[in-house]
Amino acid sequence: MPKLQHVIEAQQFTLPLLHELFQTADQMEKILERGGTLDYQNKIMASLFYAPSTRTRFSFESAMFRLGGKVISTEQAHLFSSVIGGETLEDTIRVVSNFCDVIVLRHTEVGAAKRASLVASVPVINAGDGKGGQHPTQALLDLYTIYKELGYIDGLKIAFVGDLEQGRTVRSLAYLLGKFERVMIYFIAPDFLQIREDIQDYLTRHNVWFTLESDLNKVVSEVDVIYVTRIEKERFGDKVEIYDETVRNYFIDGKLLSKMKPKSIIMHPLPRLNEISPEVDDDPRAVYFKQTKNGLLIRMALLTMLL
């Protein structure tokens, strides 16, 4: 199997590579139980974030520390004097490549990670590029969570709920699910937040069954996974009543939970706003905080595979 060089988009992960990644993540869990390792103590990771993050940045940094490595970090790369002075992303990446062994990049522009990988002399990991771009490491940890919780991915029935038009985690996870057999995907959103045609075309090309639906109640008792995403108020401008109605229609509470299968799970990439009632948190089917723990394992695994 060719060595993993960069992590840019979900499509690049073949089934054998996913298998290797999940096995490595399982090993990382054992290493973590022992308190970590010093194997990567001569390695440096740069987290170069042009946009805010809590989970992705901290879990990558924690992952690198648990591997014994070192971290140089910023969440305000857009305020670098060189960037304000007009330096291109390509030049910044060429420079930062000299100071580290791997770059974790979050950027506001779709395609930024790909551009960075073309000029970097070290591996680049896409930690989220733009609205409507991709967030492949989130999708990998999501897929790992589904596998750990349910024990299968082939034959999975999953409902994506919320802002599917801009949600990059949904886009990346849809690309990954397209690699498995007999997966059924329900995209649940009002028309103006529905999944874009590029993902629909990809799934059609890969013979994945999917449907666009606006009513969550129609599928809640059918699916194995409800994957909820954030609905941002600013997307609605001054149409506050439409925002309120949308949030109400897709709200996950105890009543909805009672209609779900006993062995199903509820996921969310976090942060949540008003999508899931706190009363759901203690239900064993709510796995959104487990996702963050799995994120640490997947990111440790990715770093070891790249380094």
Q: Are the C-beta atoms of residues 50 and 107 closer than 8 Å to each other?
A: yes
146-149 LR contacts (CB < 8 Å, sep 24+): 146/225, 146/265, 146/267, 147/22, 148/294, 149/265, 149/287, 149/290
- Closest separation between CB of residue 133 and ligand CP, Å? 12
DSSP run (H or E) holding 83: helix 81-84
**Minimal distance, residue 290 CB to ligand CP, in Å:** 14
Which residue, 127 or 306, is less far from ligand CP as judged by CB?
127
Pick 128 or 162: Cβ nearer ligand CP: 128
Q: Cβ of residue 281: shortest distance to ligand CP, in angstroms?
A: 17
Enter the tokens of residue 19. Answer: 């298998």
195, two tokens: 């999944």
Q: Work out how close the CB of 27 gets to ligand CP at its nearest, in angstroms, rounded to a whole number.
A: 24
Residues in the site for ligand CP, rule: CB under 6 A? 53-56, 128, 135, 138, 269-270
Minimum distance, C-beta of residue 53 to ligand CP, in the bound complex (Å): 3
Q: Pick the closer one to ligand CP by CB: 117 or 138.
A: 138
Lookup: tokens for 136: 């492949």
Query: Cβ closer to ligand CP: 54 or 207?
Result: 54
Select 55 or 70, whichever has its Cβ closest to ligand CP: 55
Q: To the nearest 10°, the Cα dihedral for 90, 91, 94, 98?
A: -150
